[in-house]
Structure 1
Amino acid sequence: MLGQRLLPWDYGVRNLFRRPTRSALTFGGLSIVVLLVLVVVGFIRGLEKSLSATGNPNVALVYALSSAADIENSSIAAQTPGLVSASVEGIRERNGVAYVSPELYLGTRMQTAQSETPGMGLVRGVTTAAPLVRDRVQLVEGNWPAAGEVMVGRLAYSKLGVPEEDTAVGQMIEFDGRQWSISGRFAAAGSAFESEVWAPLADLQTALKRQDLSLVAVSMESPAQIADVDLFCRERVDLELKAVGEADYYASLQKHYRPVRLLGWIVVGLVAGSGVFAGLNTMYGAVVGRIRELATLQAMGFRRRAILLTLIQEATILACGGALVACLLGLLLVDGLAVRFTMGAFMLRVDSVGIAIACGVAVLLGVVGALPPAAKAMRLPVVEAIKAI
């Protein structure tokens, strides 16, 4: 019997083209909602990836005990690298060179030659031992900085809030009362280092009139040997040092930024919820204009369940189509977009997780947005609905 069957699949599809204006507006609105969800998820995923990519499980960070977890406020003696090298076993070596990197790290005002106002940047004073310990850092353009020069991470421009061309090789950058020439640009596999400016340690100490260090990064043969560095710091109480694995340090930062990530997921929920309500309004308008059509289908013998499934089909097709467009725009316009943050800068990531969440939200918008108005229309008596204008 006719009442035992569902409506043909192409009936719902053809209905979308019978009302092209309404369908196009609904399609555009759903695409915007899904794109907003994709942007927020991309922010969360980019932040997580930046922090997880920065920590090396074989590297120990030695810094001042009094600075707690804020390395920028750390100040340790200049002879600390030599003491660590001489006292701790298991440090990686190559050709007699220990993988020990003395570093001076701070946030300071920086200004490029083209910018009108300075921005807050991150500078790290390093020696040629830094690439041995920071093995993900790769020079992608130019040369290692000599005296009076710096090299910049590929996201340093975003942290400073300037156009990317302002940090090109050969440009000038000013901080701490000195002009520095940019000698090179580097990448670091998406880690937080990419938002930093690296200067020769001796030059930076001279500019700052400081002889101390912020930290010492030590590369060990295995993660288990980081405990030996920690033991050295505990034994030398006179130095007031603390040692922590770099991976553990940035994992703690992830916990620190957990409220930000939680807020991001709340925003995802709010955007999805607003999209559901927008879908409800749109579907109510669409269903009200089709009451006679739906009643006629019931008079022909189609069950309300079959008609309800057709309405859900139409809404879900629109939502999934909007999700495909939103994901395409996300991959083209959002993925890899650099954003500033307190820890530096990172790239938005549109990955498989973000796409899966966006598509899930789209299906939710289609199904949940169609159910209430369709159910309301189905409750009207057939005779009364056929007489409706």
Structure 2
Amino acid sequence: MIYLDYNSTTPTALEVIDDVSNCMKEFYANPASISHFEGIKAYNKLNECREIVAQFIGGEKEYLYFNSGASEANNTVFKSIADYYSKLDKIHIITSQIEHKCILSVCSYLERFDNVEISYIPVDSSGVICLNALKNEIKPHTKLISIMAANNETGVLQPLKEVSKIAHEHNILFHTDAAQIIGKIPFSIASIDADFVSISAHKFYGPNGVGAIYCKHPEILSAYPLIFGGGQEYGVRSGTVNVAGISGMAKAAELCSAGYIEKSINQMEQMKQNFIDNLLSATKYVTINGDRYNSLPNTINLSFLGVKNSTIQKKLKMKLALSSASACSSHEQKPSHVLTAMGLNDDIIQGAIRLSFGQNTSPEELEQAGKLLLNTAERLRG
């Protein structure tokens, strides 16, 4: 099996597994129980991890709150802001047509309320949001602009600095779902001046079910939290804190910080471009979806014309771990909302496959995957 589904979940690093195991033995107490020594130990460990992760993403530790991951963080931001401004006659939120399923779903939920209005800005044929459309959608009651950092299906990068500037020029809060970009290319909250950022540990070799929300306005989230309870994480996210998982997240951050990104980015970019060049020279029945250059170095979205992606995946499911869309919606067998928003035709959408690789992928494995895909597509085409 060649694993090429890193955008869904990266394999947990062995160092992270060891760290989680050791933390469960050493820091087993509840960090909220600071009335005894073991609780204080866990509390101090938690704060140590907070500093490591905050530094990793270029932020300040007092604005970082741990949770279960980006989906929870995205829901928290949207619901809390809607509640916080519910006293207004109308609340307007702007996002894009290609956001992750969790954002589109929470937007659909909020639209049930009479005083909440959502605008979904379009993207061009390469999958980049239209900044002029964003500017034109701004209204006096716009309270939040949310644009993902990198698309999970195509890997296409969005102009976050420009979006942030537009938002703050109009006194609008800016949020980005950065789950896909962190750990793949350099990312800094300070450079984009975001008010809210969502991250997941399992996207950069950490454990599943652990993440964080970076929030410069904790008064909004603590006043109307997604989860009510004992007030953990300074009231932003109640519930007993997963110290072992968070420790694993911090270890993964350390591994990625230790020169990994700088060392691997050029190699992955070269592997990606070689893969695309070889495929395009081998057949005229393939197309690359999105921008092969303005995108994550580990992500390729392609379509074999005349062949359905579901058929290719069934043929290769014991040899290649692939995806046709986001892992969160792959079971639904619906056309990709991302490729649809890009204006691609039905043949391309039905044949779309996402390959995403990482630090454990060798050039030889990617080359072998390309040959398997090409040979399978050619046989199916007849």
Query: TM (normalized to structure 1)?
Result: 0.23
Give the number of the structure whose residues are more often strand, by fraction: 1
Query: TM (normalized to structure 2)?
Result: 0.23
Q: Which has the higher contact order (CA 8 A, sep 6+)?
A: 1
